[in-house]
Structure 1
Amino acid sequence: MNQRLIRSVGGGGASHRHVFNQNQKITQLGKSGRIDEALQIFSRMPRKNSFTYNSMISALSKNGRITEARHLFDKMPSRNLVSWNTMLAGYLHHHKTGQAYSLFTEMTRRDLFSWTLMITCFTRSGQLQKAKELFDSLPPDYKRDPSCWNAMIAGYARKGRLDEARRFFDGMPLKNLVSWNSMLAGYTQNGETNLGLQFFDEMKERDEVSRNLMLDGFVKAGDLDSAWDLFRNIPEPNVVCWVTMLCGFARMGKIPEARRLFDQMPVRNVVSWNAMISAYVQVCQIDEAKKLFDEMPELDCVSWTTMINGYVRVGKLDKARELLDRMPFEDIKAQTALLSGYVQNNIMEEATKIFSKIGTRDVVCWNTMIAGYAQTGRMDEAFSLFKKMFSKDIVTWNTMIAGYAQAGQMNNALKTFEEMGERNLVSWNSLLNGFMVNGLHFDVLNNFSLMRSKGIKPDQSTFACVLSSCASVAALQLGNQLHHLVLKHGYADNLFASNALITMYAKCGRILEAELVFSAIHHPDVVSWNSLICGYALNGHGKEAIEAFEMMTLKGVSPDQVTFIGILSSCSHSGFVDQGLKFFRCMTEVYGIQPLAEHYACMVDLHGRVGRLDEAFNVVKGMKIKANAGVWGAILGACRTHGNLGLGKLAAQRLLEFEPKKTSNYVLLSNMVAEAGRWDEVHDIRALMKESHSEKQPGCSWIEVRNEVHSFLSDDLTHERAGDVLDTMITLTAQVRNMVLSTKTFT
């Protein structure tokens, strides 16, 4: 047989036998990923035939080096139909639909395989209309063959368009078993297990693929009872069925059942061993996973990677590193697993060492390293890697946007966003969230409008972000419109959106609407209760806040640090000193929550509002953590209210260490000194304020008119109606002055 193959690719003789052997080596090296060795053999071959070129093109494209594959294809002295189809298959493998179609149009001769490849390329990229157009233009001789029909069925099924897939299936002139299995896969992979089972029962012929598709459908739907019934009725289940059932038990956390099935397997391949190890890793039973790993008769790259991932998952990075060093071959997935572990634990020095040792990096490896730099605020290094990446995907761009946003560099985040070729919902959410956390709430609202104009459908994260910005600027009308959108898009029961709505209504002073949103939540979580309690506190409803806290605990929801900030704040604003002291003790003694500076600030404010300045200062002196600006601000406010200049000066001194550029602190101290008649000190404080505020940020105010929020900065005349605003203000000022003068005259 080999002799016939040798003659078919170039005649007989020892030289041709040598070419045949070299071609075989190139193919084998390509399959094992040793692409550089294959290239060395290829470059040293004095004689190359079409088979040689085709083998090398296939090896390059299958190992991610599609550009080199195309370069070699263009250099071929002569091409046959196999060469064109090999290059076309390479583009299909890498989802390069545009390049594939360009190549397809250049082909002077096509066979059924060429047409099937191109149609599959369109269906896999979701371009079903183009696939349909190509299908309709099939030569008549190929129209009866099931191959292209099967590709169309699989394409429509993959997009969940099962009715259209079924119409194709029913219209086929000839069906084969692949056709039936493609349609069955459509049902089971889209969660339509009942329709799948009905179709499965209609099948006149079934094979192992059919049974495993049905079995997998039950497993994905979480219907293990039906899966187990089907499995037991398979006459001789193959290893794929055994592994599918094993993975089903593992996915539902039934590890003993999975292990029992594993032990009963008549034949185990490396996939079954890996599946059982993965099951143990999933529930962090790392010692059991390691026992199996050590017993395995044959280890592949998945075995090593799964085990390394397991050690990373339980935080044993030294063990993971030790295992990686023991690997008999290099594997990028295993290396990236350890790299990810270092990144998750912010050990960037070790991550950098691993990254530098990886020869051929894939996009996941690059993205992991960029994410590590971004989450640790090292955006210059992240950008340096970003620039070096040859092939970026949408995750890369989104990671950079989120990183810049986290670092407060919103100009760079926006620039990156605008340079993206393709954006998805994550891109928009990353940008909106960046604006929101950096206090740029008007940019959030403007870009949300732009997002909707582009036809992007918001999700719960989008609504939570935009509602938070509405709350920050008290844009009630926009918040109401967003509430309607939340309902329209089907997120009425979503906790993220509902909690954001509660906060928005509360901050806009509409506590009744906040209560209505809360009452509509079926299972409120701690964030829901916190939003309501903090809303009551913000609006001065201390009694209602306490009642909500008591109801929360009765419902079995454990309070957290935010809960007690809300309840202590409500006690402070309502003058409930005794209740506030009780809740503060309850926080530490009953729930074991250590007080934050915010809790102490509430306690200081609680005492300060009723004139207990000594008790307030004792709270500060007794703090187990360092006081922050909020604590000293509460002391200063209480001193201003009750005229304690001595303690007020001390509080102001500490406060100015935290906030040296905040004008209100200077003004408050100045007013206190003025009330005491110490005008020389007033002059000194005013001078110090001017010196510290040479770069004072302008004051800002905003108003919502006809669903549009207008912002105004002091001394800024760039607003389009600034002249009208100024004229109106002058008129109102004159009217107020006249009213004051008239009142004085009458008196």
Structure 2
Amino acid sequence: MKRNLKLIGEQTNHVFNQNTKITQLGKSGNVEEAIKLFSEMTHKNTVTYNSMISVFSKNGKINDARQLFDNMPRRNLVSWNTMIAGYVHHDRVDEAYRLFVKMPIRDRFSLTLIITCFTRIGDLEKARELFDLFPHERDVACWNVMIGGYGKKGRVIEAKRLFDEMPDRNVASWNLMLSCYTRNGEMRLGKEFFKVMAIKDVVSWNLMVDGFIEVGDLVSAWEFFEKIPYPNVVSWVTMLSGLARRGKILEARRLFDQMPIKNVVSWNAMIGAYVKDYQIEEAARLFREMPNRDSVSWTTIIDGYVHVGQLDKARELLDQMPYKNIAAQTAMLAGYIKNKRMDEACQVFSEITARDIVCWNTMIAGYAQMGRMDKALNLFKEMENKDLVTWNTMIIGYALTGEMDKAFKIFDEMKIRNVVSWNSLMTGFVQNGLSLDALNSFKLMANEGTVPDHSTFACGLSACANLAALQVGKQMHNMVLKSGYINDLFVGNALITMYAKCGRILYAQIIFKHLDKVDVISWNSLITGYALNGHGKEAVQLFEQMVLKGVLPDHITFIGVLSGCSHIGLVDQGFKLFKCMTEIYSIEPLVEHYACIVDMLGRAGMLYEAFEVVRGLKMRANAGIWGALLAACKTHGNLKLGKIAAKKLLECEPHKTSNFVLLSNMQAEAGSWDEVENMRLLVKVTKAEKQPGCSWIEVRNQIHCFLSNMPMLPETAEVYSKLKALTSQIRSLDCESDLAFLLDNL
């Protein structure tokens, strides 16, 4: 009998030791070793199964945990709670709740677990329903979870009401209620609550310090910090981090040097502060002095070197890192991509064994930004778990390369879309000259129920501006007013441009004046608007106001103001501004600036001066420059220079027949009919290769597009029928010869 008892005791101790070892292996992440030990055990008890379920769930193998749970020979209350805890840890609410409902018996811990599950995902109504349903199973921990849930969602009043109903409170209860105030910026109420707290500890003081830091009140934060009876390392780090985040680097360093005990978090906070302030050498000095480093330490300093562009040093540290961290590797990856060193980025990417979604998205975005969409697509196909960022990145990438058919295909394949998806598609359409498609997307987005944001409106208004679709733009303006985005700078700038391009410069001016704040884009939009509508003097005056306000002009500003000078013949003013651009603001002239100068001289009849400007260019003249000179030659009847300009223009745009027509008209006016006939023959040859002409008209808030190669529609036939009838009536009048002349010219 004694011998049997001894054997049972030894067996029990052996099983206990093995169970403990399984738990330890799980905590260290050695899941395979834990599985091997579990499989080799000849005697398993319920604790053994519970330990193994915990190992699976804590190491991301929740399905394996459930399979083991279902195959258990016997289950106790701990088994059920352990399985539910696994689901809670992975936010798998439905499975956790179904298991909770099936439980043969529950305890207070079971209730706390399931309520925790619902509060973590923000479903406070379901959490409160369960809380109220089991009043006898509620303990202090359960009340605390419910209060914490209300606090995280900012429902401070409900949290306080529940706190006041609590039969018993511990220090965690008081601190949770205090955190409801401090984490939601209610520092006046937090301060009052702090004064009446029945129980306080160092956590209470730390919450007050952190709360004041979050609202930017460093003075009050410092006052509380100095009054903490027994500050712990968290107190010091909280104050240190607050000073660092607010740019108080010297004060943060002084506090760091005073710390009685420095843990790795305090060192990391100080290094992070120097990195954020671009003091990389000081950050590196501290990094070298650290007694112990963790993955955050290495990641922070590597990221710091990446941000200041010292990529080789960052890579050197990454290679020295004792244990590779995906955050550090991704930071290195992003650094190479930012500096367009894609081969090295690809090498880092290949070295990452356990790639997370951020790592994949960073690499795909890198290829997309470089226009290497074939590489981006290969990674996209290889990637198993794609998120919205992945899909949106592909849309943006194809839009950048002008492949809108592929961008739309990606968009169409998306099972879930967000506002960024729609914005990416619309922006792509606008950037690639497909403004009608952008407006159609805006309409489809509304039909799908996606709420537009400021970027959506800015993009939609840009499309209206490109099409001069005033009525649609006005409708969108009304939507902006209702949505509350009227003071958004991007939307405001888009409204200015839309009204200006639609010829409503007064409306554009009103929008500009009523913006809460303006930037250089706002000024540029209005200056360009004045220029487009022939108000050159107002464009120059607005430029002068801009300079007086201390806003630095950029190259677009000068394109706008030079264009204004061109339209009304302010030659001297234009040259003065051009000189100002190069000598005062050190802006290197672009080909667009020279096009404005050529146009300005050409309009003023100074054709040879304009030609000399073109000849003296250090850069290759584009179609805009030669087109401006050709138009001026047409206006002033200079066939000699016109031929030269036309020849150069045809080299730039060989398939644009309007250039042939312009030169042909000049030759006709000069009586060179043989050359006119030759030009017409050339036009016929070229027409087969040219892009179809496009025009549109806005009728009853709808934009209708017409292409020159569009098949005849019933409505089109009706229009032509009416046109023939009108022509017949006109011919019967005494103006037939004038009509023939007009039609020939058309």
Q: 1:233 aligns with which of 193, 207, 227?
A: 227
Q: Separation in 2 of the partners of 1:52 and 1:638?
A: 92
Read off the aligned partner of 2:130 and give its amino acid letter.
Answer: L
Q: Separation in 2 of the partners of 1:103 and 1:717?
A: 64
How far the C-alpha of 1:11 sits from its partner, in A, is 6.4
- Structure 2 CA distance for partners of 1:394 and 1:83, relative to 1, 3 Å: farther
Give yes or no for the alignment of 1:186 onto 2:180: yes
How far the C-alpha of 1:649 sits from its partner, in A, is 3.0
Q: Separation in 2 of the partners of 1:619 and 1:78?
A: 93
**Superposed counterparts of 1:133-532, under 5 Å:** 133-137=129-133, 139-142=134-137, 144-532=138-526
- Structure 2 CA distance for partners of 1:89 and 1:394, relative to 1, 3 Å: farther
- Greater mean alpha carbon deviation, residues 700-709 or residues 311-320: 700-709
Give yes or no for the alignment of 1:734 onto 2:728: no
Deviations 1:384-426 (A, max 9, x none): 2223333222222222222232232333333333433433332
How far the C-alpha of 1:84 sits from its partner, in A, is 4.1
> 2:536: which partner in 1?
542
Q: 1:96 aligns with which of 92, 95, 112?
A: 92
Q: Separation in 2 of the partners of 1:454 and 1:539?
A: 38
Q: Separation in 2 of the partners of 1:10 and 1:432?
A: 74
Q: Is the 8 A contact 2:19 2:51 kept in 1?
A: no
Read off the aligned partner of 1:140 and give its amino acid letter.
Answer: P
Local SS of the residue matching 2:704: strand
Deviations 1:210-233 (A, max 9, x none): 222221111111111111111111
How far the C-alpha of 1:379 sits from its partner, in A, is 2.2
- Structure 2 CA distance for partners of 1:304 and 1:47, relative to 1, 3 Å: farther
Read off the aligned partner of 2:108 and give its amino acid letter.
Answer: L
> 2:3: which partner in 1?
none
How far the C-alpha of 1:472 sits from its partner, in A, is 1.2
- Structure 2 CA distance for partners of 1:13 and 1:91, relative to 1, 3 Å: closer
- Structure 2 CA distance for partners of 1:153 and 1:432, relative to 1, 3 Å: farther
Local SS of the residue matching 2:735: helix
- Structure 2 CA distance for partners of 1:393 and 1:744, relative to 1, 3 Å: closer
- Structure 2 CA distance for partners of 1:66 and 1:683, relative to 1, 3 Å: farther
Q: Separation in 2 of the partners of 1:587 and 1:494?
A: 30
Compute the TM-score of the two structures, normalised by the length of structure 1. 0.91
> 2:123: which partner in 1?
127
Q: Is the 8 A contact 2:486 2:492 kept in 1?
A: yes
- Greater mean alpha carbon deviation, residues 533-542 or residues 63-72: 63-72
Q: Separation in 2 of the partners of 1:75 and 1:669?
A: 88
How far the C-alpha of 1:28 sits from its partner, in A, is 3.8
How far the C-alpha of 1:560 sits from its partner, in A, is 0.4
Local SS of the residue matching 1:743: coil
Q: Is the 8 A contact 2:202 2:228 kept in 1?
A: no
How far the C-alpha of 1:278 sits from its partner, in A, is 0.3
- Greater mean alpha carbon deviation, residues 623-632 or residues 551-560: 623-632
- Greater mean alpha carbon deviation, residues 108-117 or residues 50-59: 50-59
Q: Separation in 2 of the partners of 1:302 and 1:529?
A: 44
Q: Separation in 2 of the partners of 1:658 and 1:92?
A: 65
Q: Separation in 2 of the partners of 1:69 and 1:665?
A: 74
Give yes or no for the alignment of 1:26 onto 2:22: no
Task: Name the % identity.
Answer: 61
How far the C-alpha of 1:69 sits from its partner, in A, is 5.0
Read off the aligned partner of 2:350 and give its amino acid letter.
Answer: S
How far the C-alpha of 1:198 sits from its partner, in A, is 2.7
Q: 2:567 aligns with which of 570, 573, 593?
A: 573
- Structure 2 CA distance for partners of 1:119 and 1:337, relative to 1, 3 Å: same
Read off the aligned partner of 1:311 and give its amino acid letter.
Answer: Y
Local SS of the residue matching 1:704: strand
Read off the aligned partner of 2:725 and give its amino acid letter.
Answer: A
Read off the aligned partner of 1:282 and give its amino acid letter.
Answer: K
Local SS of the residue matching 2:91: coil
> 1:118: which partner in 2?
114
Q: Separation in 2 of the partners of 1:82 and 1:372?
A: 49
Q: Separation in 1 of the partners of 2:374 and 2:73?
A: 46
- Structure 2 CA distance for partners of 1:290 and 1:575, relative to 1, 3 Å: same
Q: Is the 8 A contact 1:26 1:42 kept in 2?
A: no
How far the C-alpha of 1:736 sits from its partner, in A, is 4.4
How far the C-alpha of 1:454 sits from its partner, in A, is 4.2
How far the C-alpha of 1:239 sits from its partner, in A, is 1.1
Read off the aligned partner of 2:260 and give its amino acid letter.
Answer: P
Local SS of the residue matching 1:701: strand
Q: Is the 8 A contact 1:476 1:505 kept in 2?
A: yes
Deviations 1:129-185 (A, max 9, x none): 333343343x3321x323333333333332333333334334444443333333332
Q: Separation in 1 of the partners of 2:523 and 2:123?
A: 46
Residues paired across the two proteins, number: 732
How far the C-alpha of 1:244 sits from its partner, in A, is 1.1
Read off the aligned partner of 1:581 and give its amino acid letter.
Answer: F
Local SS of the residue matching 1:492: coil
Q: Is the 8 A contact 2:627 2:645 kept in 1?
A: yes
Q: 2:690 aligns with which of 685, 693, 696?
A: 696
How far the C-alpha of 1:106 sits from its partner, in A, is 5.0
Q: Is the 8 A contact 2:333 2:345 kept in 1?
A: yes
How far the C-alpha of 1:71 sits from its partner, in A, is 5.6
Local SS of the residue matching 2:733: helix
Q: Is the 8 A contact 1:463 1:497 kept in 2?
A: yes
Question: Where does structure 2 lack aligned partners over 5 or more consecutive residues?
Answer: 1-5, 739-746
> 1:3: which partner in 2?
none
- Structure 2 CA distance for partners of 1:694 and 1:106, relative to 1, 3 Å: farther
- Structure 2 CA distance for partners of 1:20 and 1:273, relative to 1, 3 Å: same
Greater C-alpha Rg: 2
Local SS of the residue matching 2:706: strand
Q: Is the 8 A contact 1:57 1:70 kept in 2?
A: yes
Read off the aligned partner of 1:548 and give its amino acid letter.
Answer: L
How far the C-alpha of 1:511 sits from its partner, in A, is 0.6
Q: Is the 8 A contact 1:255 1:279 kept in 2?
A: yes
> 2:743: which partner in 1?
none
> 1:555: which partner in 2?
549
Read off the aligned partner of 2:113 and give its amino acid letter.
Answer: L
Q: Separation in 2 of the partners of 1:479 and 1:529?
A: 20
> 2:15: which partner in 1?
16
Q: Separation in 2 of the partners of 1:70 and 1:390?
A: 23
Read off the aligned partner of 1:255 and give its amino acid letter.
Answer: I
Local SS of the residue matching 1:703: strand
Read off the aligned partner of 2:488 and give its amino acid letter.
Answer: N
Q: Is the 8 A contact 1:246 1:275 kept in 2?
A: yes
Local SS of the residue matching 1:557: coil
- Greater mean alpha carbon deviation, residues 218-227 or residues 478-487: 478-487
> 2:742: which partner in 1?
none
